[in-house]
């Protein structure tokens, strides 16, 4: 098993291991890593310094806390402290996706063929949101402009303080719309950190297609004052 081989090499090198996976409800990586850890502990005969965290999220929404974890490691925090932080922080991470192209929703079984055809003809744009580790439809609008406005209202509902700790947009074939959404978010919310708009990794486009905008965000824990993004 590739995961076990990589873990074994690090353990033999005297390293501690911190592994973060995308949602276990959308990928088998978390369970595979747990199995690999158990096999290695049987092999070595003792509890190994391996932490495996299920992000319960996708794409950039599961990467953001990793940035903080890296900084914690640089400051000398222990693996257990970082693990506790990640397990507490991941439930705060949210992802809203605007999907003008219904093809991949149909292929993934989220909508049927007839709905995809009719929706495409009349310009229905679904909006998805992560909920309990699953990417689920949370709304739909006719046209991209209405879909963007609806997505922003969803963010307002999820973050009533309108204070966001970190925001990042991921897009494919929607760069201009993503820039507009960024400006709208800056106007409506106080944002502590706004990361650059990015493109998705291949695993995301395989499920979401090549025509979408995702907004990853987390509500600020404290009063962060003026927007300095």
Can you give the residue range of the structural domain that contains 189?
A: 94-219
Task: Verify that 51 and 17 share a domain, yes or no.
Answer: yes
Residue 198 has pLDDT above 50, yes or no: yes
Task: Verify that 82 and 54 share a domain, yes or no.
Answer: yes
Structure confidence by residue, pLDDT tens digits, 119-160: 555 578 888 888 888 878 888 888 889 999 999 999 999 999
Query: Residue 61 belongs to a domain with what CATH number?
Result: 3.40.50.10440
Integer Cα distance of 75 and 68 in angstroms: 11
pLDDT value of position 202: 59
Task: Verify that 71 and 100 share a domain, yes or no.
Answer: no
Residue 115 has pLDDT above 80, yes or no: no
State what percent of residues in the chain have pLDDT above 90: 62
Task: Verify that 211 and 104 share a domain, yes or no.
Answer: yes
pLDDT value of position 53: 97
DSSP string, 70-122: HHHHHTT--HHHHHHHHHHHGGG-EEEEE-S--HHHHHTTSS-HHHHHHHHHH
> What integer best gives the mean pLDDT of the chain?
86
Task: Verify that 166 and 204 share a domain, yes or no.
Answer: yes
Inside any domain, residue 37: yes
pLDDT value of position 215: 96
Q: Outline where DSSP puts E strands in 62-133.
A: 94-98, 124-131
Residue 201 has pLDDT above 80, yes or no: no
Tell which wins on pLDDT, 220 or 229.
220
Residue 97 has pLDDT above 80, yes or no: yes
State what percent of residues in the chain have pLDDT above 70: 82
Query: Residue 194 belongs to a domain with what CATH number?
Result: 3.30.1180.10
Integer Cα distance of 158 and 46 in angstroms: 43
Inside any domain, residue 228: no
Task: Verify that 121 and 202 share a domain, yes or no.
Answer: yes
Out of 50, 71, 90, a domain closes at: 90
Mean pLDDT of 30-43: 96
Task: Verify that 11 and 28 share a domain, yes or no.
Answer: yes
Inside any domain, residue 229: no
Report the domain count for the chain.
2
Inside any domain, residue 227: no
Residue 62 has pLDDT above 60, yes or no: yes
Out of 56, 90, 124, a domain closes at: 90
Q: What is the band of 105 on the pLDDT scale with cuts at 50, 70, 90?
A: low
Task: Verify that 210 and 193 share a domain, yes or no.
Answer: yes
pLDDT value of position 71: 96
Integer Cα distance of 132 and 194 in angstroms: 25
pLDDT value of position 128: 86
SS3 state at 98: strand
Out of 69, 90, 111, a domain closes at: 90
pLDDT value of position 223: 42
């Amino acid at each position: 098993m590739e995961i076990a081989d990589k873990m074994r090499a690090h353990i033999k090198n005297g390293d501690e291991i911190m592994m973060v996976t995308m949602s276990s409800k959308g990928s088998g990586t978390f369970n595979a890593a747990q199995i690999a850890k158990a096999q290695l502990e049987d092999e070595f005969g003792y509890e190994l310094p391996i932490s495996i965290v299920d992000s319960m999220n996708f794409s950039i929404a599961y990467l953001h806390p990793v940035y903080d974890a890296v900084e914690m490691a640089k400051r000398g925090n222990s693996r257990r402290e970082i693990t506790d932080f990640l397990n507490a922080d991941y439930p705060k991470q949210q992802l809203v996706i605007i999907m003008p192209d219904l093809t991949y929703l149909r292929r993934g079984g989220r909508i049927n063929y007839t709905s995809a055809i009719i929706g495409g003809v009349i310009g229905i744009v679904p909006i998805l949101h992560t909920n309990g580790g699953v990417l689920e439809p949370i709304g739909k609008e006719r046209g991209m402009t209405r879909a963007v406005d609806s997505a922003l209202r969803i963010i307002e509902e999820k973050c009533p303080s309108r204070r966001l700790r970190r925001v990042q947009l991921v897009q494919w074939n929607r760069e201009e719309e993503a820039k507009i959404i960024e400006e709208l978010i800056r106007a409506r919310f106080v944002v502590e950190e706004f990361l650059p708009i990015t493109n998705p990794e291949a695993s995301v486009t395989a499920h979401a297609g090549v025509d979408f905008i995702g907004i990853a965000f987390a509500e600020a824990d404290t009063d962060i004052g003026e927007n300095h993004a």
